[in-house]
């Protein structure tokens, strides 16, 4: 079940996609104390049981020599690409039913799903921009490469595992980005990448960003 809070009369809906296995209520618990309640916020329930946007495949032999091999090496490989497509369609249908401007946010696997929707032929003109937190990779063959925006990358260098951490620094940076998105006409994508991340290692993130640079030239 999706969780919503804030001002229903707001002109903008902030739609947040949780990470892998994270129930929306967990996101609700820390968002409510750290964002502008004069805006309307919804945390979208994942497509599949177990709070997943899609399932990961079996662990495969891989290496760090290139991006596609690295994905298998850290077990971010898709089990069934149709599940990613189904999630993109689900996000699309949800946004189509919102009669307001939308800002999209996501963390981890939710960031991956949000990124793929934003770079798909289904992406609605009402979506103003995207903020992604420690994105769990992407799948180049399922991107619409004609969808290009303005891209900004922020690197969080704080110590200890930061994969699922949302602290004051995270919210300060997120809220600044959301303010820029809502005040600019140009659509933007903001990446929040934690250097210390035990789930999505920094060396993978560097390769991921290099791969995205080759595709979108940012």
Domain ranges of the chain: 3-216
The pLDDT of residue 111 is above 80: yes
Tokens (6 digits) for 125: 């003109």
Does the pTM surpass 0.85? The reply is: yes
Q: How far apart are CA 203 and CA 11, in angstroms?
A: 39
The tokens of 204 are what? 């993978």
Contact 133, 205 (CB under 8 A): no
Per-residue confidence (pLDDT) for residue 165, from 0 to 100: 97
- 127: closest CA among 173, 87, 191, 182? 182
Rounded mean pLDDT of 71-91? 96
pLDDT digits (tens, 9 = 90+) for 136-146: 999 999 999 99
Per-residue pLDDT averaged across 182-199, rounded? 95
Q: What is the pLDDT of residue 206?
A: 97
**CATH of segment(s) 3-216:** 3.40.50.1820
Average pLDDT over the chain reads 95
Q: What are the respective helix, strand and coil percentages of the chain, to the nearest 5?
A: 35, 20, 45
The number of helices, as runs of H, and strands, as runs of E, in the chain is 6, 7
Give the confidence band of 1 by pLDDT, cuts at 50, 70, 90.
low
- Whether pLDDT at 163 is above 70: yes
Residue whose token pair is 């925006």? 149
Q: Where are the beta strands (DSSP E) in 55-187?
A: 101-107, 127-133, 150-156
Which DSSP string corresponds to 82-101?
HHHHHHHHHHHHHHHT--SE
């Amino acid at each position: 079940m999706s969780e919503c809070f804030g001002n229903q009369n707001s002109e903008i809906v902030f739609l947040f996609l949780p990470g892998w296995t994270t129930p929306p209520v967990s996101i609700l618990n820390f968002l409510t104390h750290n964002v502008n309640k004069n805006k309307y916020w919804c945390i979208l329930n994942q497509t599949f049981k177990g709070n997943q946007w899609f399932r990961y495949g079996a662990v495969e032999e891989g290496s760090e020599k290139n991006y596609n091999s690295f994905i298998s090496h850290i077990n971010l490989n898709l089990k069934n690409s149709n599940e990613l497509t189904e999630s993109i369609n689900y996000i699309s249908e949800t946004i189509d039913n919102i009669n307001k401007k939308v800002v999209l946010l996501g963390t981890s696997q939710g960031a991956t799903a949000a990124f793929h929707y934003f770079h798909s032929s289904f992406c609605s003109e009402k979506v103003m921009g995207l903020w992604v937190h420690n994105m769990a990779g992407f799948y180049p063959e399922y991107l619409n490469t004609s969808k290009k925006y303005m891209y900004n990358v922020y690197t969080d260098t704080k110590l200890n595992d930061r994969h699922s951490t949302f602290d004051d620094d995270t919210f300060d940076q997120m809220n600044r980005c959301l303010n820029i998105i809502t005040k600019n006409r140009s659509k933007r994508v903001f990446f929040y990448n934690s250097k210390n991340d035990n789930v999505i290692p920094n060396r993978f993130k560097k390769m991921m960003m290099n791969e995205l640079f080759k595709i979108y030239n940012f």
